[in-house]
Structure 1
C-alpha cells in the first residue's frame, strides 16, 4: 500500500487495482483496502466520494461491499458547466478521511472496473489480454491506476501467458505495476520484467534477473529500459523448521499426532485433495473426538466457507486477536490448499503432503508464524521447536513416489524436483530449513536448470520433465488462440485488434474459464426439501444482524423476498471433479433442471434466475447423476458413487 501511494504520487494515477488469485483473497484484500482508504488523508474532500469496487462474480454477497452499495441511494449530479473556481480550499481538508461509495453507475461486469479503487480476482487483469468485446473499456479502467498483482507464483502456464501480455500493454501505457511473491522462480521473474519492459529491450539485459537468488529482492524495470535489482535487508524474525518424512498411513499419522499433542497444542495437516482431507479427518476424530478436529476446504457453501475462515482466524490468528479463543487442549485442523494464501493463522506443528517447493514454503509460513512468548514459551514444551512432517510419499520405494492424487493436481515433475531439493533437509542429521534465508535458494534450485536429484532418479525425472514440457507447450498454444497481440509502437492503429475473439468476457464461470485452463465445473445453489415438498434454506447457516438464516421457508409460487433470495444465493457450491466429465455433467444438469421454480426465474428475482438448484433431503443428502451427495456443516460436501 505504501508503494501504491508513492507510485500514484509520481505517476498521477487516480486509483489502484489489487489482483488476487481467488475470491477469498480478494475479499480479504477488499477489507484492507477500505481500512487504508478510510485512513488516507483526502486533499480533495469537497470533490466527492471515492468510488470503490469488489471485482468478482460474488461481490454482491460481501457484507462490506453491500453496505457501501446501500449508502448510495442519494442522487448525485455533476455540473460540467459550473465555474472552475467554485471549489474553495479548506485548511483542514488534509485531515478529512476519504468518503467511500460503491456508486450505482459503476456497478456491473463492464463498468465496475472504472471505479477508482478496486480489489478482486486476477481474472479482471487477464481479461485485458483476451480478444473480447469492450476490450477498450477494460484498458481504460486500468490505464489510470496503479496495478498490484499478488501471489504471482500461483498462476500456471496458461494464466501466465495472459498475465505477460497484460503486462506488456500496461508497460506501453506507462501504468505502474507492483508484482508480489515470496516464492517466485527467477526465470519467471525475468519473464514478467521483460513483458513489462517490452520487446525492444534485449534478452541479455535480464541475465542477472534470471540468476539472482537473494531474498528479499526488489526488481525494477521501466518500459523500454533495463532492469535494476536492489537487495534490501531482511526484516522480521527468522525461523528454523526441522523437516521429517512420515509414511502415508492414516493410522500412523494419528498415532504420531496423539504423541506430539500429548501436552496440548494445535496442529495443521495440509492435504492436496479434498478426499484426503475427509479421510484424514475421519481417522483423527476417532482418536481426538469430533470437537478437536476442524475441516477446511473448498466444498462448503459460501456462507459456511466464510464462517470457517473467520473461525480459523479467531482461534489460530495472531496473538492479541485470538486471545482467549485458541484451544487449550489438543486440536487438529485438516485442510486443503485453502490455507496456503492470505489466512494469517499460526500453528505449533505442521504435517503436509509433498507439493511443489514454493507451495511447501507457503505452508511452512503457517508454522510458528508469530512469536508466542519469549523463545515460544507459550507453546507446549514439545512444540517450541518448529517441525514439519512431510507425507503423501511412498518413502519405502526405490525412488520415493508421490501419491497419485498429488500427481494429478501438480504433475510428477514439480513434485520430484521439490523432493530433490528438500531431501537434504529430510535426512535424520540434515539441516533445518531457515526462513526466510532458504526460500530463494530452494525455489531457484527446484525451478532452475540444474539437476538436484540423485542419479538413481534421473530416468524418472527426465521422463516426467518431457511430459511436463509437453503440457506447458500445449497450454501456451491454447492461450495463443485468443490472446491479444503485443502492444505496438505508439501511433499504430488498433483496427482489428480483437478480430477472431471470444465475444463477451465476463466474471461468470464460463468467462473465467477463458483465462484459466480448468475443466468446466457446475455451480449450484443448495437448499433443503422436506418430505412434503417444501423448500427451505439450509439448516445451520450462521445468523446475521437480521436474525436467523437457516431453515427458512421459501415460496414456490412467488418471487422470494430479497433477504431470502440473498440467503439462497449465498449458498453457492461448486460441484467437485466427478461432475466435470461431459457425460456426468450433462446428466447432472438434466436432473437439476427438473427443480426449476418458474417464479424464481422472473426478472425481479435476479439473485436466483437462471441458477441451478440442488435440493437436499431432510438428512441433507441426495442422489445426483449416479453419485450420493451428503452435506454437513462440519465437513461440507461428501461425494461417493451410488451403488
Structure 2
C-alpha cells in the first residue's frame, strides 16, 4: 500500500503532464492539492481486497499463519470456483464503498465513481452483474462466525491507516458532493494501474530488503532512481514570429519563406479561444506536417500537454514520419539535462534502426541499490543529433503493447489511436496515453466507414479530455469535415447549428477549421502558396500493348514515368510487358508484396532516384518507368514527368497526381524535363471507356467499389472532354473535384443513371454494414458526471494489440497471414535470403546460417525477422488460410520457439528453394528481389 501510494505521488509530481493534472484538479474543491491526495489515496487502498478470505487462502502456509491469529478461512479447494466471485479488485471496491458509507455517511450512488478505480485496477471495471453476485456471497469477504468481526476490524484498520497516512481523512465531507466526470475516473484508474505495476516490480521494490532498516523515503527514492523514468515535455509558448519559429524548428533553406497555410495554422493555434481541434486542408507538398508540428508546440504550451502522437495510415508512413519527428525534437529548446521518451508505434518497430538506436542498453529497469548516492546524470546529445536540447530515449520500462503508448513522443499507425475507441482490457492506459498529448491525425481522408466509426468516438473522448488535435488532409470531403468537427465538439445545440452547417458547405481551399469542446467552429481561408500545376487528363485504352506503344512515343526523348495500378496482379502483368519492350533495367516494380527489408530498400531507392531536386543526383537520364501499386500514393516525396494511373476514387487520383511535376525542374518552364514532357499529363486507364457507361476492371471494383469509381469518372468528365483546354488545375480544382465526387445526389450523364443508382445502393448497404459491425465493440460515449465506469468495457474484445489480428479489430480488412521468408539450401539447411546488403554497422546479412536445432545468433534471427512478408488476398479465405497455417506449422522448429528466441518465437516460417520458389495451400509461389511475390494457382 505504502509503495503504491508513494509511486503515485512521484508520478503526479514528476511524470504526469500538466493537462492531466488540471483535468482531475478542476472537479475537486481543493484543486490540485485535493487531486494529488485523491490519486495517492486510491493507489494506496487499491489492494484492500487482498485482506479477504477469498484472496488470503491461496497460499496455505500463509493462510495458516493468519488462522493462528484468529482470521479463519476455508481452504482454496473448499471455496471452489465461488472464490472467483470475489477477485480482489472487485472485493476492494465493495469494501471501500462499504467503509465510505458506514464511516463517512456517503450514499452508494456517491461511492461508485471513486471505488470503481479500485475495482478496475486490473484493466476491466466490474459490471453490475458481478457486483450483485458478490453481494450474495459476502462470506468471501469475511468468514462468518467468530472471526467475522476480526476480519472487519483488520479491513477497517487498514483503510483508516491509509486515510491518515495519505492525508485524506479530513476531505471526505468535501468530496461527498463531487461528481467525477467519467474521463477523470478513467485517468485516476490508469494512474493507479501504472503505480501498481511499478510498485509490484521486485527489481525496484525488493520483497525482502533485510540488510538494514529503511525509511519509506529511502525506499521510494532508490526505486525512482532505478526506474529513471523520463518526465513530460513542458514547452513554453514560443516567442517571435512564424518565420523565426519555422527557421529554428525546421531548418528552412536560405531565402525560403513560410507558406501562407503554415502561417495561418501558426496564428490560429495562438489565437483559438482555447486549445481544441484544428483541421488543416491543403495541397500535397504544401508543408502540412511542419504546420502541424508548429501548431502542436503552441497548443501543448497552452494546454499543458506533455507530448505528441503523430498517427499515420500505415507502417510505411509511420516509418517515414519517425525520423522527421526526431529531427524536430532535436531542434526543440529544452532545459539542459531533459530526457524525453520516444516511441515508434507499430508491430515491427523493433526492426527500425532509427528506433532501436534510441533504446536503453539494458532491457530492464536498473536494480535498486539502496545505498547508492543520488548522482547527477551526465547528459550527452544523441549521436544522430545536430543540436539536441534533450536526450531522446526508447525507455526500457515503456515497452510492450500496454505501456508503450505512455511514451511522450510517438509516431505510429492510426490503429493505436483507434484502439482508444475499442472496448478492450486496460483501455484506461490507452486513454491516459492520449489524454496527455497533442494528437496529430494525418491523411484523414484515407479512413473508410469502419475505421471512421472508431475515429469519431475517439475524437469525442479526446474532446472530453480537452486534448488538442490537428487533422491533416489534402482531399477531405466537406461532409466528413463536419463529422470530425462535430465528433470532437460534442452535442450541437441550436445556437451553433448554423456554424456547423457552414463547415459542411465550405468549399474554400486551402482551409483551416477549428473548434473547442462544446464550442462553435471557426474557419480561416489562407491564400494558396502560388505553386500550381495544370494537369491534362486523357483516357487511354486498357490494353498493355497500347500502353507500351504510347510510352515508346512519349519517352522518345527520355523521361521518368509512374504507372500506378490498383492491384498487385496488374502491377506485375504491366511490368512484364513493359520490360519486354524497354528492357529489365529500365522498369522498376513497387508494391506491397515484398519482404519488409526489400520494401524499405525499394522506398529508399525511389527517393534516391526520383526525389526532390538537390537531394538526389541519381535521376535516370534515359527513359525509366516505375510500375507501382498504391504504395506510391502517399508519404514518398517522388517526382515524375508523366503519370499513367488506373481509375480510382478522385481523392486518391489527386494524391497520385501529386507525384506528377511535384517540383520545379528548370524553373516554371520545367526546362530540365524532356521537351515532350514539360506539360504535366495524366493518362487514366483500367476502364472500358468505349462502353455506354464506363466499366472499371474487376480488380479495381473489388478494391474500391463501383460507386466510388463511377463518381470519380463523373467528376473528371469535364476535364476529359475538354482537354487540353480544361486541365485539372492543382491546387485550385482539388476541393471542387472532391466535393463533387462525395456530395449527395446524382451525377454523370443521363444514361449513367441506372448504373449509378445500382452502384449507390450497393455502396450504401456496404457502408451501413461496416458501421453496424464496427459498433459491436465500440466504446460508448462518456456518460454524465458522477456515473461510475461500471461495465465500461463489458462484452469487449479482451486484449487489443497491433498484430494483424489486432488491426482487424479496427480495420475492415480480412485477416491475413504474415510469414518470415528464408531460403532452404540444397543440403537442407536454412539461411537468410542471399541478396541482402550489410546492416548499418557493415555486418553481412546475406546467407546467414539459421540452425534448426538451436536458436540462431541474434544477428541472423533479427535479419530473418526483417524478411517478414504479408501473404496476398489469395490466402485470406478461411479454407485456404487454415490449410496454409497447417502446412506452415508442420515446418515449425521447436528450438526457435524458446523464449530466448525473441525474434523468431511464434513466427510462421516460409522456406524458399534455391530458385526462390515453393508451394503453399494449392498455390505456386515465386519471389524475386525485383518483382516481389508472384502467386499462381496450381
Instruction: Name the TM-score, length of structure 2 as normaliser.
Output: 0.66
How far has the Cα of 1:492 moved from its partner?
A: 3.2
From 147, 165, 170, give the equivalent of 2:462: 170
What is aligned with 2:408?
A: 116
> What is the rounded CA distance, in whole Å, between the counterparts of 1:134 and 1:622 in structure 2?
42
Partner residue, 1:285 = 579
Choose which of 306, 329, 342 in structure 1 pairs with 2:635: 342
Question: What are the within-5 Å matches in structure 2 for residues 197-596 of structure 1?
Answer: 197-202=489-494, 203-323=497-617, 325-374=618-667, 375-427=669-721, 429=723, 430-544=725-839, 545-596=841-892
Write the distance in 1 (CA, Å) between the matches of 2:870 and 2:838: 23
SS, match of residue 503 in structure 1: coil
Distance (Å, rounded) in 2 between the aligned partners of 1:75 and 1:409: 46
* CA offset digits 1:18-57 (Å, max 9, x no partner): 0000000001111100000011111x333x4100001000
1:172-208 alpha-carbon deviations (Å, 9 max, x no partner): 0000000000101000000000000012445544101
Aligned residue for 2:174?
A: none
1:451, 1:587 → 2: CA distance? 46
Q: Quote the Cα distance in structure 1 between the aligned partners of 2:363 and 2:767.
A: 49
Structure 2 counterpart SS, 1:421: helix
1:133 to 425, 428, 441: 425
Three-state SS of the structure 2 residue aligned to 1:180 is strand
Deviations 1:536-587 (A, max 9, x none): 1012112212322111211111111111110010000000000001111111
Displacement of 1:108 in angstroms is 1.1
Deviations 1:381-407 (A, max 9, x none): 000000000000101111111111100
Once residues 213 and 491 of structure 1 are traced to their aligned partners in structure 2, the CA distance between those partners, rounded to angstroms, is 42
Distance 1:233 1:489, change over 3 A: farther
Q: Mark the CA change 1:228 to 1:293 in structure 2 (over 3 Å): closer, same or farther.
A: same
Paired residues of 1:303 and 1:542 also in contact (CA < 8 A): no
Is the partner of 1:242 in helix, strand or coil? Answer: strand
Deviations 1:82-124 (A, max 9, x none): 9xxx99xxxxxxx861210110011111111000000000000
**Other structure's SS at 1:376 match:** coil
| Partners of 2:535 and 2:790 in 1: CA distance | 56
Instruction: State how far apart, in whole Å, the 1-side matches of 2:751 and 2:837 are.
Output: 54
> Where does residue 90 of structure 1 map in the other structure?
none
In structure 1, the partner of 2:351 is 61
Equivalents in 2 of 1:579, 1:449: separation in Å?
A: 37
Tell me the C-alpha RMSD between the 2 structures. Answer: 1.9
| 1:18 match | 310
In 2, Cα distance between equivalents of 1:18 and 1:601: 34
Q: Which residue of 2 aligns with 1:91?
A: none
Q: Is the 8 A contact 1:72 1:102 kept in 2?
A: no
Residues 130-158 of structure 1, C-alpha deviation per residue, up to 9 Å, x if partnerless?
Answer: 00000000000011100000000000100
Cα deviation per residue 1:313-356 (whole Å; 9 max; x = unaligned)? 00000001112x00000000000000101100000000000000
Q: Distance in 1 between matches of 2:899 and 2:361?
A: 24
8 Å CA contact retained: 1:523, 1:574: yes
Structure number with the higher strand fraction is 1
- Answer with 1 or 2: which has the greater Rg: 2
Matches within 5 A, 1:91-110: 97-110=389-402
8 Å Cα contact 1:296-1:338 kept in structure 2: yes
Secondary structure in 1 matching 2:397: helix
Task: Write the distance in 2 (CA, Å) between the matches of 1:486 and 1:601.
Answer: 42
Q: What residue ranges of structure 2 are gaps of 5+ in the alignment?
A: 1-292, 378-386
Question: Residues 73 and 129 of structure 1: is their aligned pair in 2 closer, same or farther, counting only changes over 3 Å?
Answer: closer
Paired residues of 2:329 and 2:388 also in contact (CA < 8 A): no
Q: Give unpaired runs (5+ residues) of structure 1.
A: 88-94
How many angstroms apart in 2 are the aligned matches of 1:246 and 1:491? Answer: 63
- Name the structure where helix makes up a greater proportion of residues: 2
The CA distance in 2 between the partners of 1:350 and 1:478, in whole Å, is 38
Paired with 1:149 and 1:373, the residues of 2 have a C-alpha distance of 35
Q: Relative contact order: is structure 1 or structure 2 higher (C-alpha 8 Å, sep ≥ 6)?
A: 1
- What is the distance in 2 between the residues matched to 1:626 and 1:27? 34
Return the match for 1:143 from 413, 427, 435: 435
1:15-94 map, 5 Å: 15-42=307-334, 44-46=335-337, 48-71=338-361
Say whether the 8 Å CA contact 1:300–1:636 is kept in structure 2: yes
Q: How many residues align?
A: 630
CA distance in 1, matches of 2:931, 2:638: 20
Give 1:490 deviation, angstroms: 3.6
* Counterpart in the other structure of 2:235: none
SS of structure 2 residue aligned to 1:52: strand
Separation (CA, whole Å) in 2 of partners of 1:64 and 1:490: 43
Name the counterpart of 2:915. 619
CA 1:138 to 1:497, structure 2 compared with 1: closer, same or farther past 3 Å?
A: same
C-alpha displacement at 1:378, in angstroms? 0.4
Q: Give the Cα–Cα distance (whole angstroms) in 1 for the partners of residues 621 and 712 of structure 2.
A: 35
- Identify which range, 150-159 or 536-545, moves more after superposition: 536-545
Q: Check conservation: 2:421, 2:458, Cα contact below 8 A.
A: yes
Moved more, 390-399 or 359-368: 390-399
**Inter-partner Cα distance in structure 2 for 1:310 and 1:317:** 10
Separation in 2 of the partners of 1:77 and 1:322?
48
d(CA) in 2 for partners of 1:41 and 1:177? Answer: 22
Change (3 A) 1:73 1:39: farther
